[in-house]
Structure 1
Amino acid sequence: MAEEQLVTFSLGTEEFGVDIMRVQEIIRIPPITRVPKAPSYVEGVINLRGNVIPVISLRSRFGMTRVDETDLSRIIVLQVQTKVFGIRVDAVTEVLRLDSEAIEPPPQVALGMDSQFIRGVGKIGERLLILLDLTHIMGGEISHEFSS
């Protein structure tokens, strides 16, 4: 039986998952440098051991209200194809394995979010986990501005 290993995180009351193979590391929030004229969901860039990495606010990307940073706030550094970028999340919750059979395609009305960001919904007992399609999170705009 096929299974996926996921890193799960929360944004407010929702729980999300990303493929662990895309995750380079999880870091506390460092100082973020704003970038003029960047899309609203781009918080700015960070310096990660000499590499400049764009940081996406998933709350802004998904049209959720902004919240203040807490001790649990993290940046998940991801690599999608050749792009390395960070997503800012409220808290990283766990690493888990999910059987492929427990993953359903996204519902038509995709939870008020743009369905292009969602590749499926995972069921873990009573919990629902929104599985993100990371190829669209960055958006086409950024890949030109921050090409590596």
Structure 2
Amino acid sequence: MTDTTQDAVELISFEIGGQEFCIDISVVREIRGWSVATPMPQSPEFVHGIINLRGSIMPVIDLRARLGLGATEPSSRHVIVVVQDADRCAGLLVDGVQETFTVEATLPQAAPELGATVDERFVDAIIPMDGRMISRLIVSRLMPDGPRAEAA
């Protein structure tokens, strides 16, 4: 039997404004229901506020706003996906989580270049699956500080 763990990618998908996106499940710490975030002065427009998650203060990123799809008016049906990128944690505010799934590592296709510079791109791949096209997001670029290691 061959080891298929390196030949597959495990992802979690969610909806934002009627569109489907996904991220690598390895960066997800937990999924929680919506809770009110405390607004922070002088934060970027896409930062909805901050929450206290078991003693850790973290920003809540309005993913719809971050992707340029308008602002979210959060309600009890919204979900916060808590992600970790190196030493940074944040909550991603999404309309709802869809599913976790595994795809062959060869299935994701490079996202087309549409004029954004490499540092401005949030989508690194498109995954065609069951008649859908799911955009895979780069979590490190969604964070308020932007990419740290890549800037050096």
Shared fold per TM-score greater than 0.5: yes
Partner of 1:37: 42
SS at structure 1 position matched to 2:142: coil
Change (3 A) 1:18 1:96: same
Distance 1:119 1:29 in 2: 27
Aligned ranges for residues 5-24 of structure 1 at < 5 Å? 5-24=10-29
Change (3 A) 1:125 1:5: same
Stretches of structure 2 that go unaligned for 5 or more consecutive residues are none
Aligned ranges for residues 1-148 of structure 1 at < 5 Å? 2-109=7-114, 116-140=121-145
Larger radius of gyration: 2
Distance 2:93 2:21 in 1: 12
What TM-score do you get using the length of structure 1 for normalisation?
A: 0.87
Distance 2:21 2:114 in 1: 17
Distance 1:66 1:119 in 2: 23
Stretches of structure 1 that go unaligned for 5 or more consecutive residues are 144-148
Deviation at 1:71, TM superposition (A): 3.9
Share of identical aligned residues, percent?
29
Distance 1:50 1:81 in 2: 19
Distance 1:3 1:27 in 2: 26
The answer on whether the counterparts of 1:6 and 1:18 sit within 8 Å (CA) in structure 2 is yes
Letter in 2 for 1:79: Q
Deviation at 1:70, TM superposition (A): 3.9
1:45-100 Cα offsets, whole Å, 9 max, x none, are: 00111111111111111111224334431000000011011110011001111111
What TM-score do you get using the length of structure 2 for normalisation?
A: 0.85
